[in-house]
Amino acid sequence: GSLGSEGAQKPAPIASVAKVMTAYVILQGHPLKGDEEGEKITVDQKAEDESKRPDESTAPLTKGQELTQRQLLQLLMIPSGNNAARLLARWDAGSEDKFIDKMNDAAKDLGMTGSTYTDPSGLEKTTVSTATDQLKLAQAVMRNDVFRKIVDMPEVEIEGIDGKIYNNNNLLLQPGVSG
Q: pLDDT per residue over 69-100, tens digit each? A: 999 999 999 999 999 999 999 999 999 999 99
Catalytically active residues, by annotation: 16, 19, 80
| Architecture of the domain delimited by 12-173 | 3-Layer(aba) Sandwich (3.40)
List pLDDT tens digits, range 94-111: 999 999 999 999 999 999
Rounded CA separation 118/103 (Å): 9
Confidence band of 163 (pLDDT split at 50, 70, 90) = confident
Burial (0-12, 13-18, 19+ Cβ within 10 Å), 149: middle
Higher per-residue confidence, 25 vs 179:
25
Is the CB of residue 119 less than 8 Å from the CB of residue 82? no
What angle separates helix 18-29 from helix 69-77, to the nearest 10 degrees? 170
**Reported pTM:** 0.90
Residue type, 95: S
